[in-house]
Amino acid sequence: MKCFKRCYISLCIPLTLLTATSEASFALYKQHRTHHITSSSSPRRHANTVHQNSLPSRGTRSTSDPEYEGGCNGNAFALGRERRRSRLHNELAKLGIDPNELETQPESFGTAAIRTFNSFLLPKSPGALAVAESPTRAKVVANSISFLLREHKADQERWIQNVDKNRARDDGVSGAAERITSSQLHVKHPITLILDNVRSAHNVGNILRLAEASQVDSVRLCGMTPRPPHPKVLKTAMGAAELVSLGDSEASLSTLQTVLELKSEGVTIIGVETTENSTTLWDANIPAIDDSPVAYIFGNELIGVDVDVLRECDCIISLPTYGIKNSLNIANCVSVVIWDTLRRWHSKS
């Protein structure tokens, strides 16, 4: 019995101490929390109220902004940009690379080489800035850019070879047309898709996939629109990019040049854009398949089709929307326009 009491007491004492300690700790935490909220909440609200209009906007917090005041000694990111550019230009010149051409040629836009170039000029953190300012960093970055340019060139050559193979195959199929029934032939529909400075490579890849599935005549990638063999374009195209014609010249002409060229060939130009003069797709008068080839223009995701280009259009159509949003993703819009045109043509034939 004495042993049992001794054990009971030995168990109760620690539990009592633990409970007391927990209660004391909680009381201390509660007191500290109350004091913290009381002493800090009011000044914070006052500070936010007073200085809310003077806080920098989100747009000014980029390290590429000369007025950037955060992170590392004020505007050190912008102040050292031209010095880093000069160092990198010198190292690239030693490797036989024209840095001015790298910065200005449309073929470089969106490539890994130009992204590496810009990351060196405009580092995004104090740590990255410290690395960029090291004496040997410009040489390392120049060598990396040289490798990325060679890799990009090799990708382009492989791309051209694959396109040539597919064209040779198509020519072989055309030559054997008399031995193949009409249901087995992939007949091109007289539709040209014109992408006016479309920003997203994923959208472009998606549209190329749609173009192959619907067998349109060609897709014209104008201005800054990403082109194969851009990896994101090829990824979303899922093998269709090599099967779609990008026009005779395969060149990144401006949208206006492309439109004028097609108009001279008798192609009906139709802009797809929401304007005061737009006709809904359901009410639009689309030329019959035997009357005239058709070219549809789809614009940038943010600003749409360029105004100068719209002036050259034979008509402007828009997709009717019934919700708060008055636009669709460009790839979705392309698919609706293509298949509505094919539905019209095939229902009449």
pLDDT digits (tens, 9 = 90+) for 285-326: 999 988 899 999 999 999 999 999 999 999 999 999 999 888
Does 26 have pLDDT greater than 70?
no
Give yes or no for a contact between 163 and 272, defined as CB atoms under 8 angstroms apart: no
Share of the chain above pLDDT 90, in %: 40
Predicted pLDDT of residue 49 = 38
Q: Note the pLDDT tens digit of each residue in 72-110.
A: 444 666 778 888 999 999 999 999 999 888 888 777 777
pTM: 0.57
Q: What would the pLDDT profile of 101-140 be if each residue is shown by its tens digit?
A: 888 877 777 788 888 998 898 888 888 888 888 999 999 9
CB 203 within 8 A of CB 307: no
pLDDT score, position 36: 45
C-alpha torsion angle, residues 127, 129, 135, 136 (rounded to 10): 70
Confidence of residue 204 (pLDDT cuts 50, 70, 90): very high
Q: Report the alpha-carbon distance of residue 53 to residue 44 in Å, rounded.
A: 15
Across the chain, what does the average pLDDT equal?
77
Residue 102, pLDDT score: 85
- Name the residue among 209, 215, 265 with its Cα closest to residue 239: 209
| Whole-angstrom distance, CA of residue 240 vs CA of residue 220 | 15
Selection from 272, 271, 268 nearest residue 288 by Cα: 268
Q: Which one of 26-35, 67-76, 99-108 scores highest in mean pLDDT?
A: 99-108
**Selected residue with higher pLDDT from 187 and 53:** 187
Using CA atoms, how far apart are residues 19 and 13, in angstroms rounded to an integer?
10
Percent of the chain having pLDDT more than 70?
Answer: 68
Segment among 39-53, 72-86, 178-192 with least mean pLDDT: 39-53
Q: Decide if pLDDT at 68 tops 60.
A: no
* pLDDT the model gives residue 45: 39
How much is the average pLDDT of 236-250?
A: 81
**Tell me, what's the pLDDT at 171?**
55
Q: Is the pLDDT of residue 274 over 50?
A: yes
* Cβ count within 10 A of residue 186: 9
Q: How many CB atoms are closer than 10 A to CB 196?
A: 28
**Which of 65-69, 201-205, 226-230 holds the top average pLDDT?**
201-205
